[in-house]
Amino acid sequence: MPMSSRQRVQECVAWAMLVPNIPALHALKMLFSGPGYSQTYRNTWVGWYSAGGYIMDSAGVMLSGRDGKTPDYDTAALVGVRFEDTGGGFVEFELYSKYRQRSLLSIVNDCMGTDRENDGSPAWRSGHCRVGKASSTFGVVRPSPEMVIGYAGSNLEPLNWILFKVQESAAQRRLPFAYGTQNSTNPGFAGRVYIYGVQYAVERAGMWKSVTRPCQLDGDGCVTSHNFPRYYGTQEHCSIEIEPSLATPLNVTDFKTESNHDILTVNGKVYSGSTGPQGITPLEAIVWRSDNSVSKRGWRLCPSTVGSAIGSIEDPPSGVHVFLPVIFLAMICLACYSGPTMLRTWRRWHAQRVRLRNDLDHDGVCGDLTVDATELTLDQSQQAQLLRDGHSEFAN
């Protein structure tokens, strides 16, 4: 039984749903940016505890990347938090399960409630919440093993406390690093300071099924150690899950780690120093770990068929590349929908044309001619004249 137009369109839509998803690539999300010393963002700044309040210009347009927080501080679901400065120092924390997939605003409010003044209680001495463990750090003096929210330690002044404690001691003679001491944004880091929300680096990109922070995927579809080609951090840990059906031998374009201490594990075998897993086809998750001492240049792993099914983080696909499959499917759907109608129209036109030709060439007497459903009747003298003209033209 012939399909209706509606059924044909539904079938086309069903085929369209079979087109593979474009890889969902994720990067760090900036939550806050500000100067290293600012009284605006001290611990009582309302923006830490309330949605909205983003930095705006005089026309009411948000200043993206300028001083202040971004909407992602209020809404982005996180698996970690990273504190960084323009001097290159950073410390990154992996959130505990209780706080994963929540926004930083939600975590702060859950921990602090309405408490804004240090009263020397146990909560202030030890910290209101311990929300994550350090997963990677570089260039930071005595990084805290845990991310602590709402900490005063032995200080007894009502406003002398830290919102985000990420160091055991600071570079200056003040409280450890924190956005929001009683006097300033940050007493311990250099230059401008940033808070980033950490999400998975990438999901579903060719043979890389998933890549967790702090490892990352570059613009060529290769997985690298953090900060590559600059030195990676200490106490790093990441895992790279493999899609077995798409796995290919590894092309190691660079490999330099601290021998016997900072190791990459592939198929259960450890690699360090200057010898990487060149030509090895990974059959299980690749794991990277660095210790807390020497850092090196790091590593870069590429599929042997790099770029075949991998998107780019830095240069997303152009509109033409993204929409070519959509345009192609739209053309198929249009043909499915209008093809039968066009075919019927062509058949009617062709039948009329054939009938006209047959009447002129084969009947001997030109009788009724049907042209576009209009009948023309010729008298005998007109028929004879038409036949004479035809024979004369044929003889010539």
Domain ranges of the chain: 23-198, 202-303, 319-395
pLDDT at 117 (0 to 100): 93
Question: Could you tell me if residue 106 is left (phi over 0), alpha (psi between -120 and 50 degrees) or otherwise beta?
Answer: alpha
Residues 6+ apart with CB under 8 A from 34: 40, 41, 67, 68, 179, 185, 186, 192, 193
**DSSP label at 78?**
B
pTM passes above 0.85: no
Query: 226 exposed, middle or buried (CB, 10 Å; 0-12, 13-18, 19+)?
Result: buried
pLDDT at 43 (0 to 100): 85
pLDDT at 372 (0 to 100): 43
pLDDT at 95 (0 to 100): 93
Q: Is the peptide bond before 214 cis (omega within 30 degrees of 0)?
A: yes
Query: 133 exposed, middle or buried (CB, 10 Å; 0-12, 13-18, 19+)?
Result: middle
pLDDT at 206 (0 to 100): 80
> Is the CB of residue 242 less than 8 Å from the CB of residue 202?
no
Could you give the CA distance from residue 306 to residue 344 in angstroms, rounded to a whole number?
49
pLDDT beneath 70, residues of the chain = 1-27, 36, 55-66, 87-88, 169-191, 200-205, 213, 306-330, 333-340, 343, 346-396
Query: 188 exposed, middle or buried (CB, 10 Å; 0-12, 13-18, 19+)?
Result: buried
> Is the CB of residue 287 less than 8 Å from the CB of residue 320?
no
pLDDT at 384 (0 to 100): 60
Q: Which fold has domain 202-303?
A: Jelly Rolls (2.60.120)
Give me the helices (H) in the chain, please. 5-16, 71-75, 104-112, 122-126, 319-361, 380-395
